[in-house]
Amino acid sequence: SGKEKWPKGEEKVWRAGMRSVDKNISDVTRSVVNHVQTSLARQPYNLDDFGAYQASALSVRDNLLVNWNETQMNYTRKAPKRAYYLSLEFLMGRTLDNALLNLGLKDQYKDGVKSLGFNMEDLLEKERDAALGNGGLGRLAACYLDSSASQELPVWGYGLRYKYGIFQQLISQDGEQLEAPDPWLENQNPWELPRIDVTYQIRFYGNADRVTDGSGRAIWQGGQEVLAIAYDVMIPGYGTKTTNNLRLWESKPKRGFDLNSFNAGNYEGAVEVSNSADAITSVLYPNDHTFWTAASLADILRRFKNTGKPIKEFPDYIAIQLNDTHPTLAIPELMRILIDEEDLHWNQAWHIVTNTFFYTNHTVLPEALEKWPVPLLEHVLPRHMQIIYDIVSAQSYIFHRPKLISSDRTCMVSFPYVHPELTADVAPFRFFLQAVEKKYPGDRDRLARMSLIEEGAPKQVRMAFLACVGSRKVNGVAELHSELVQTTILKDFVDFDGISKFGNVTNGITPRRWLDQCNPELSALISKTLQLSPGAWLKELTKLEGLLPYAESKTFRAEWAAIKQRNKERLARHVEVTLGLKVRTDAMYDVQIKRLHEYKRQTLNILGVIHRYLTLKSLKPAERAKANRKVVFFAGKAAPAYYIAKLTIRLIVNVARVINADPETNEYLQLYFLPDYSVSLAEVLIPASDISQHISTAGTEASGTSNMKFCLNGGLLLGTVDGANIEIAEEVGESNVFFFGHLTPAVEDLRYQHVYHPVPIEQKCPALAQVLNQISGGLFGGDGVYEPLLNTIRQGDYYLLTDDFDSYIAALAMVDEAYLDKEEWIKKSIKTTAKMGKFSSDRAINEYAESYWNIEAIPVPDGIVA
Ligand code: 73E
């Protein structure tokens, strides 16, 4: 009829697609048309971009499913050792483009949707990010899934199917962060498969009564049960059939279950949850945590039992990686299953557990180390708390077993956490504790320091200690960080267990998403230059070294620079479309994008911007005209309750308003805070950057992973000697990075000086004092609102801004100077990309597979797996 409009007039193709046997139509086109008709029940006319995206996604999903089924069948048949990655966060971002890349179907689908009147790039933009995480830790999990599948490793992820992703960030008139919910599932999610056949019942509350037969068992009953339902997300490997699984759990009330009181949980009020500064939001609800760890373990156990192997072989077939302490309750949960349900002896169970789990620590910041109140655990998970008490006791027993033989069995010592009902089998440790005391006479501090349970009101379980004693190995995420783990927070455990339990796996990033997908032009130039197919270097990233000689080629440098320029223009277009702001593209792009946190020192950056602004203002026009033109970008979310972080955002936004409106300087300096930072926004920002900032106080940023992403895309690094910055500099050469600031060993002493020998800022750092005074004086408005933020620097200055400011400004000046020599700069950029091979998550995941999990690649054979 007259009103019905076929998309861009491609009526013939649509009609052919609808007749399923037309030979002139590609399979892709036919499949998309078919999904429009059947899955979406829509008519081709008036189909919008979103509908076309949905149909394309469902069509791609069909391809994934074939591979997914074959992969799982192959695993079942071969029954290899498998690894499971337990993480509370998976920051997946968008899927369609990644799935097409990994399947090798990008061109087919681009052409397919084009023949139906659509542009693939527009369709990709219709997908919502899966933002089930906060930042680096969750994105790391996503990169590791990509690499596991690409390396054909039998690895599954387990996590939670949150109804809402991380909040959407809005910026108010005043420049304040506002939070809106992210109902990401609202439009249905074509990438998940509900598995109503895979469900488990998970218990909470109730009573756990020890059986007095000396077996260590207990009977846990009563309380309430909640249903865990599995949703599977397919994880395709790049250039391989292997398609792994990410299983996310949804909770559903059992009939008669009062979900409201479950969620509101009176336990919340029962104990004050300590989340000082709420720095990194870990929501300390043990019901969430156990609910999914328990479901995951039940699922893992069921799969293991299907192989028919005896339970004692569990660790030969299963490795479980704990992504930080959030899933640590898996340790007492597996103990519970083995003792109470599988009838194993306590020691046998402990042997299995401590050979199954592996723990990755992601932070040494004391306020971010999880502690759970004992009364809360006792209430919600009485049996788990009992087991934790038993571990506390057995911990010392196991550590000191050799000495037990000679210990004198007559005298009982009182140890703070000997459970009175401890079973006979575990009891020997009581005698042994005397030996501990003998070994460290008077060193009750050590016992208290190492106990899984911290004294206080209330007592709290130290989750990092529990994860450590319950795991076979413990690792940090960059060399410096791993060393700090071993010499600070877990030092006593290194003394007890020996250093061989502790290791390092430096983080990595997937070059598929973080180069090929986000920077297609650069990827194409690299393939052309190396004369390799993308697959040949994207899976062997050290091949990038082949670019080094081309740094000397003027034509290559020109191509390299032109791509950077077009990426700046792409970013500028994005800012114009989304925010209506015009960004100049003939300038250096300086980017800092990450969660807002005092230790990451976005404040140092904004104070540096203000300093630059004041300096520009003080110059005569002729002098100013010589200045390097620069656009500074910030993006990042602050935890909703993190007051100082939110103030920092407010300051950045209001400084931007003043600076961008100043006709005297805005040719030389522009500043933007891009709201609602996400994986997808990072994909536009990173390829456009000339320089990015990673400027944490030395010793505070465990690794950082965006530093790797920028460098891989030819952006240079301005940073402190911290986290993975150090290893990046080792690879690319110190002459190609801009380092500044005090080093980790100096930090403690500097903090001491701040407290005991404070020097007024005017004296210590006049340039900084001037900047602070301008803010206080109202140059950026705010009527004094910034004082609490400024006072963190004036008083105490825990993150050492007053110590590092001058060297920071000097480093920025060196960046400007280096940028003046464009050809040299591009050389640095090329050399940086060329030396980033180490930071592929393929390398990292292979280290876990070989040195931790002891698993091997299980390729899916050609042909149908029977
Ligand atoms: O340095 C980053 C690191 O690159 C670190 O801060 C981050 O993990 C990244 C990946 O290893 C991290 N996130 C958390 N702790 N460290 C965290 C803690 C509690 C809740 C959520 C995230």
Q: Which helix (H) or strand (E) holds 739?
A: strand 737-740
Find out whether 590 and 631 touch, Cβ atoms under 8 Å: yes
CA 265, 266, 272, 276: dihedral to nearest 10 degrees? 20
What is the dihedral sign for C-alpha 535, 538, 542, 547?
A: positive
**554 found inside a domain:** no
**Residues 118 and 146 grouped into a single domain:** no
**Residues 318 and 401 grouped into a single domain:** yes
Q: Is 578 helix (H, G, I), strand (E, B) or coil?
A: helix
Q: Which of 160, 363, 484, 506 to mutate to test the pocket of ligand 1 (most atoms within 8 A of CB)?
A: 363
d(CA 729, CA 710): 13
Give the confidence band of 9 by pLDDT, cuts at 50, 70, 90: low
pLDDT (mean) for 236-243: 97
Which ligand 1 atom is nearest residue 363's CA? 16
Q: Are strands 460-462 and 371-373 parallel, antiparallel or unpaired?
A: antiparallel
Which ligand 1 atom is nearest residue 704's CA? 4
How many structural domains are present in the chain?
3
**Residues 596 and 653 grouped into a single domain:** yes
Q: Which of 89, 137, 371, 709 to mutate to test the pocket of ligand 1 (most atoms within 8 A of CB)?
A: 137
Query: Which one of 124, 143, 178 terminates a domain?
Result: 124
pLDDT of residue 225: 87
* Bigger pLDDT: 221 vs 423: 221
Find out whether 324 and 468 touch, Cβ atoms under 8 Å: no
| Protein residue whose Cα sits closest to atom 10 of ligand 1 | 137
pLDDT of residue 19: 67
**527 found inside a domain:** no
pLDDT of residue 856: 98
- Ligand 1 centroid to 377 CA: how many Å? 24
**Residues 383 and 487 grouped into a single domain:** yes
**Residues 498 and 637 grouped into a single domain:** no
d(CA 427, CA 699): 41
**574 found inside a domain:** yes
Residues annotated as catalytic are: 362, 594-595, 600, 705, 709
d(CA 724, CA 352): 34
Which ligand 1 atom is nearest residue 139's CA? 10
Bond prior to 458 in cis (omega within 30° of 0): yes
- Ligand 1 centroid to 645 CA: how many Å? 17
**591 found inside a domain:** yes
**Residue 237: both structure tokens together:** 């490997």
Q: What one-letter code names the amino acid at 255?
A: R
Which ligand 1 atom is nearest residue 481's CA? 1
Average pLDDT, the chain: 90
d(CA 720, CA 474): 26
Residue with tokens 């290194």: 494
Q: Which of 278, 288, 323, 362 to mutate to test the pocket of ligand 1 (most atoms within 8 A of CB)?
A: 362
* Bigger pLDDT: 527 vs 393: 527
**806 found inside a domain:** yes
pLDDT digits (tens, 9 = 90+) for 156-196: 999 999 888 999 999 999 999 999 989 899 989 999 999 99
- Ligand 1 centroid to 136 CA: how many Å? 6
**851 found inside a domain:** no
pLDDT of residue 213: 76
- Ligand 1 centroid to 703 CA: how many Å? 8
d(CA 663, CA 777): 21
- Ligand 1 centroid to 844 CA: how many Å? 16
**Residues 55 and 158 grouped into a single domain:** no
pLDDT of residue 286: 59
- Ligand 1 centroid to 139 CA: how many Å? 10
Which ligand 1 atom is nearest residue 281's CA? 20
**212 found inside a domain:** yes
Give the distance, in angstroms, between the CA of residue 857 and the centroid of all CA atoms in the same chain: 24
pLDDT of residue 472: 97
**Residues 136 and 117 grouped into a single domain:** no
| Protein residue whose Cα sits closest to atom 20 of ligand 1 | 282
Nearest alpha carbon to residue 160 among 92, 220, 94: 92
* Inter-CA distances, 317 with 341, 402, 561, Å: 20, 29, 50
Which ligand 1 atom is nearest residue 89's CA? 21
**Residues 470 and 609 grouped into a single domain:** no
Residue numbers of the domain that contains 623: 567-843
**Residues 305 and 374 grouped into a single domain:** yes
Find out whether 707 and 692 touch, Cβ atoms under 8 Å: yes
- Ligand 1 centroid to 717 CA: how many Å? 20
**Residues 117 and 135 grouped into a single domain:** no
Model ipTM?
0.99
- Ligand 1 shell residues, CB under 6 Å: 134, 136-137, 140, 280, 282, 324, 362-363, 368, 477, 507, 701-705, 723
Give the distance, in angstroms, between the CA of residue 126 and the centroid of all CA atoms in the same chain: 24
**Residue 641: both structure tokens together:** 């309750």
| Protein residue whose Cα sits closest to atom 4 of ligand 1 | 704
**Residues 280 and 420 grouped into a single domain:** yes
Which neighbouring-strand residues pair with 130? 93
pLDDT of residue 293: 94
* Bigger pLDDT: 285 vs 829: 829
**Residues 107 and 143 grouped into a single domain:** no
> Domain containing 413 — which CATH number?
3.40.50.2000
- Ligand 1 centroid to 321 CA: how many Å? 15
pLDDT (mean) for 431-437: 44
| Protein residue whose Cα sits closest to atom 18 of ligand 1 | 280
pLDDT digits (tens, 9 = 90+) for 106-129: 999 999 999 999 999 999 999 999
- Assess whether pLDDT exceeds 60 at residue 728: yes
- Assess whether pLDDT exceeds 70 at residue 608: yes
**512 found inside a domain:** no
